[in-house]
Structure 1
């Protein structure tokens, strides 16, 4: 809001369009340098004048307008100081309006987001958290900006690993054990297969034969495969429900089995296939990439063919305008090759395909591996986070109504926020004790600030028991805006909400919203500790401070919701 107003004041006096001017405005690093700064160096060549002289002239023009904004020339900068007595109330007014900071830039655009995508018959480990929650947050952000969004869980329900699992089950498994604990027993069998195969390589051939029978439709093998799929989905859905995640489409790799041959026929017809050591590849020399393997020596298709079919289906059947793949950074070469092949096939929309990579997640410095059985179950992490949250809540608020539900929201929110606050391409070392803390840069800190504001509004009569924070009923009168410097800092932070959402969307980076929420919560708590919000005898000041609090609480709640995190109103 302040940047936009600065652009309105300056634009009549500079040879720049408003959008170009907005891009050049800066937020000074210190309050003593103003609230908004405009560097005039970019105009010096065009106007053939010194930046300092341009800045002095612009400062005079702004001051003459008398719009509650004071301008100072400092070197080649114009520093703008907004009068808090004039602008604080306007900012709070705007922030309490429904849809504050929301844009419709995506109206008419359809985004398909590939996310989560676990392998069937393996547990949801803590490593699956990143794709699932980054993808979920991006889906919320795209919807927030007017996009139509389809989230797809691209399950790993096909491939040679099923041959391995089937062989392991027939050799060492049992129906009763599998039915009692489908995921745990499947993992145990999968790990044992790799242990035994290290000593007996013939098991690998047996597994390939088992998968071939599955591909050929052998009913006994297919029935066992279907059991693995159904049991896994039941378990996955339970964990997804705890995370508050759902999918518009759940389409496994097997869904595309009948769509592979048409892709191969196109590649042959277009003369794109080349032989390489008995295998068939598409060469990508002009892209500076190694050849993309399409068919192995034995004629078997591999992942690139399936991903080509998947992309074509999403574009032409699902009518996607943009395809996002929230998949680990180790797959960067794979996606560059797939997109490169699509381009050589003549698909003009390859520029609308984007790999959204993220770094590796370790737990206490250790990398996870299902082959070796080194898996930290996501469900167990959530259980432990909730247990720790419940202990903290019991110590701080022993009589809290619905304490178990709050502990679930706080524990799971802590785990999710602990991931999303990091830039997605960074590797993350997960430490449960750190993420569940109510202090520092954590989800519970933001949630607790939100709950603190809800409590203030209840005490001040601005929020009834039935009315959610920041919604109808939380708005209070505008009179009495005489506030502290801390209040002004807090109000200015409100104006950065739209920019945080835009940054998150531009870079597919949910951490931009998470970092904004941390800064907003920090600024509010400084305001809160700067003096009592509710002061008997100061009705207008109390209402003004409550009103600012309501605006902050509303944005904290909205931001947490975008990240897929609950915002309790009591903690």
Structure 2
């Protein structure tokens, strides 16, 4: 589609003597109105003509373009109808260019806290981050996936205090994550906050008992997390955790002192951000304890020095928006212009029955439990529909896990999501299983066939919608990467699946006639495109279901 857009833009730029960008073009909401729409309102001032007269002028200019059959004028819009044969031949002759060497992108994603279960809430950062990573790789970037594990802070002092007060070693060893969560929740109901702060101070100064317990909590947590990452198909290039930056924070504090940025405020040290209309950034508490901001400043500087990133993304919830504004503002004050390459990719909460999930209150849905339940339900469905399916358990895992992921990524990441397993696992509607089943259906039609696209043939009416949707793939992926919005790909692959299923219901695809080769070529292109989109969405594409 972009080639034809560029051809039209070049012709119009020359004939109208004004620069025309393909970003001007739109798609008609109703297919009957054409394949491409050119709104003329933005051109009216420069051309000193009414939008309707400009549309009429465009109609005349484009009548000489061989790839266009006709141009309709509706108000201030010129609606283009492409020559279907030319359009289809161009689509199938076009070889995809591989984009390379666009630079390095670091992505801070997932980042759960040790000694806490991997909840449904953690799914969002993990999956949104991984999908964005794959989108950037598709666009030619080198991606560094960073799991900035939360393994430092006052909460670990609280956990040590809770374990010292109520913990039983045998029970923790039997079910470490579940038992540590119980202790954490109990501390917030019955514990002494001062005791928690005291144990974190001991941890910071290297108390042997505190360090030993902290390392134990970390080991059992990482082991549990790894099983979940394997199920999700996610892997990391770096596990540099919060504690990794313990010996790097003093250098940041010294830089702040050299630049005369540190101020005393009620015994604490802060950087004033009045000029940026932001609250002061707290660097060091009155008791000497460091904070997230200190650590994140050290992490940002370390990542720039280590990876020389062209972009640095933080996949973190909406509630941290202020923190990242402060972080970038402090880096700017230190003279780091590359801070403009940093971007907070925010997202909404995962809610349960309309309520926020909370580790402190114990209202958490474990992701591992949800993935297991989804897999079991998918296997039950397949047992009913296809009892002879080979590798049923593996396919059930692909479908169950894929359903959970798709349910997340089909939504605008900034919105909150109210989780429902029943809605997620439906095999019809806007779900992952629906898209996966469409992939299976397309594969079943082509797996034993041989075919080649035949140029110059008339395009069957029933195939046109599929061809139009296919032509939008590359621009959709590029826009999804640029806006950090995987839902664009999810919505695209849903529209392609729906278009194919309408085509399938209207057409005898395997009918042996002059159009057979092109029908099979079209189905193959749809199959490949669905698989590519599912990959970008961190979902597997089974060949049988």
What's the TM-score bracket when you normalise by the shorter of the two chains? over 0.9
The answer on whether the counterparts of 1:26 and 1:38 sit within 8 Å (CA) in structure 2 is yes
Give the aligned partner of residue 561 of structure 1. 535
The answer on whether the counterparts of 1:480 and 1:543 sit within 8 Å (CA) in structure 2 is no
Q: Can you give the 5+ residue segments of structure 2 that lack an aligned partner in the other structure?
A: none
Distance in 2 (CA, whole Å) between partners of 1:480 and 1:431 is: 49
Are 1:348 and 2:337 an aligned pair?
Answer: yes
Give the aligned partner of residue 489 of structure 2. 513
Aligned counterpart in structure 2 of residue 448 of structure 1, from 420, 437, 442: 437
Distance in 2 (CA, whole Å) between partners of 1:79 and 1:281 is: 58
Give the aligned partner of residue 320 of structure 1. 309
- Closer, same or farther in 2 for the Cα pair 1:441/1:370, shift >3 Å? same
Distance in 2 (CA, whole Å) between partners of 1:323 and 1:544 is: 44
Give the aligned partner of residue 125 of structure 1. 119
Give the aligned partner of residue 517 of structure 2. 543
Q: Secondary structure at the match of 2:282?
A: strand
Distance in 2 (CA, whole Å) between partners of 1:269 and 1:275 is: 15
Distance in 2 (CA, whole Å) between partners of 1:457 and 1:517 is: 19
**TM-score when normalising by structure 1:** 0.91
- Closer, same or farther in 2 for the Cα pair 1:372/1:53, shift >3 Å? closer
Give the aligned partner of residue 534 of structure 1. 510
Aligned counterpart in structure 2 of residue 138 of structure 1, from 132, 138, 142: 132
- Once the two structures are TM-superposed, the CA of residue 114 in structure 1 deviates from its matched residue by 0.3
Give the aligned partner of residue 10 of structure 1. 12
Distance in 2 (CA, whole Å) between partners of 1:483 and 1:318 is: 50
- Closer, same or farther in 2 for the Cα pair 1:260/1:71, shift >3 Å? same
Give the aligned partner of residue 468 of structure 1. none
Moved more, 376-385 or 219-228: 219-228
Are 1:296 and 2:285 an aligned pair?
Answer: yes
- Closer, same or farther in 2 for the Cα pair 1:398/1:277, shift >3 Å? same
- Once the two structures are TM-superposed, the CA of residue 445 in structure 1 deviates from its matched residue by 0.6
Give the aligned partner of residue 230 of structure 1. 219
Are 1:246 and 2:220 an aligned pair?
Answer: no
Distance in 1 (CA, whole Å) between partners of 2:334 and 2:455 is: 65
Distance in 2 (CA, whole Å) between partners of 1:401 and 1:282 is: 62
The answer on whether the counterparts of 2:293 and 2:323 sit within 8 Å (CA) in structure 1 is yes
The answer on whether the counterparts of 1:126 and 1:377 sit within 8 Å (CA) in structure 2 is yes
The Cα offsets for residues 36-95 of structure 1, whole Å up to 9 and x where unpaired, read as: 12233333333334443433333233223433532234443322111223322332343x
The answer on whether the counterparts of 2:102 and 2:141 sit within 8 Å (CA) in structure 1 is yes
The Cα offsets for residues 2-36 of structure 1, whole Å up to 9 and x where unpaired, read as: 4334335434323244xx42111121122222111
The answer on whether the counterparts of 1:69 and 1:83 sit within 8 Å (CA) in structure 2 is yes
Distance in 2 (CA, whole Å) between partners of 1:451 and 1:563 is: 17
Give the aligned partner of residue 352 of structure 2. 363
- Once the two structures are TM-superposed, the CA of residue 289 in structure 1 deviates from its matched residue by 0.7
- Closer, same or farther in 2 for the Cα pair 1:64/1:338, shift >3 Å? closer
The answer on whether the counterparts of 1:480 and 1:541 sit within 8 Å (CA) in structure 2 is no
Distance in 2 (CA, whole Å) between partners of 1:270 and 1:440 is: 58
Moved more, 295-304 or 82-91: 82-91
- Once the two structures are TM-superposed, the CA of residue 275 in structure 1 deviates from its matched residue by 1.7
- Once the two structures are TM-superposed, the CA of residue 170 in structure 1 deviates from its matched residue by 2.0
Moved more, 27-36 or 440-449: 27-36
**TM-score when normalising by structure 2:** 0.96
The answer on whether the counterparts of 2:67 and 2:86 sit within 8 Å (CA) in structure 1 is no
Give the aligned partner of residue 200 of structure 1. none
Give the aligned partner of residue 496 of structure 1. 472
Q: Can you give the 5+ residue segments of structure 1 that lack an aligned partner in the other structure?
A: 198-202, 463-474
Moved more, 154-163 or 72-81: 72-81
Q: Secondary structure at the match of 1:372?
A: coil
Are 1:419 and 2:408 an aligned pair?
Answer: yes
Number of residue equivalences: 543
Aligned counterpart in structure 2 of residue 149 of structure 1, from 128, 139, 143: 143
The answer on whether the counterparts of 2:106 and 2:145 sit within 8 Å (CA) in structure 1 is yes
Distance in 1 (CA, whole Å) between partners of 2:137 and 2:310 is: 14
Give the aligned partner of residue 281 of structure 1. 270
Give the aligned partner of residue 27 of structure 2. 27
- Closer, same or farther in 2 for the Cα pair 1:309/1:511, shift >3 Å? same
Are 1:392 and 2:392 an aligned pair?
Answer: no
- Once the two structures are TM-superposed, the CA of residue 192 in structure 1 deviates from its matched residue by 1.6
- Closer, same or farther in 2 for the Cα pair 1:16/1:558, shift >3 Å? farther
The answer on whether the counterparts of 1:279 and 1:297 sit within 8 Å (CA) in structure 2 is yes
Distance in 2 (CA, whole Å) between partners of 1:48 and 1:207 is: 71
The answer on whether the counterparts of 1:454 and 1:569 sit within 8 Å (CA) in structure 2 is yes
The Cα offsets for residues 253-288 of structure 1, whole Å up to 9 and x where unpaired, read as: 000000111111111121111122222211111111
- Once the two structures are TM-superposed, the CA of residue 432 in structure 1 deviates from its matched residue by 0.5
Give the aligned partner of residue 209 of structure 1. 198
Moved more, 353-362 or 60-69: 60-69
Distance in 1 (CA, whole Å) between partners of 2:455 and 2:483 is: 40
Q: Secondary structure at the match of 2:63?
A: helix
Moved more, 446-455 or 67-76: 67-76
Distance in 1 (CA, whole Å) between partners of 2:57 and 2:401 is: 55
The Cα offsets for residues 448-500 of structure 1, whole Å up to 9 and x where unpaired, read as: 101100001125x14xxxxxxxxxxxx53426844443310110001111121
Give the aligned partner of residue 472 of structure 1. none
Aligned counterpart in structure 2 of residue 486 of structure 1, from 459, 462, 469: 462
The answer on whether the counterparts of 2:8 and 2:62 sit within 8 Å (CA) in structure 1 is no
- Once the two structures are TM-superposed, the CA of residue 183 in structure 1 deviates from its matched residue by 0.8
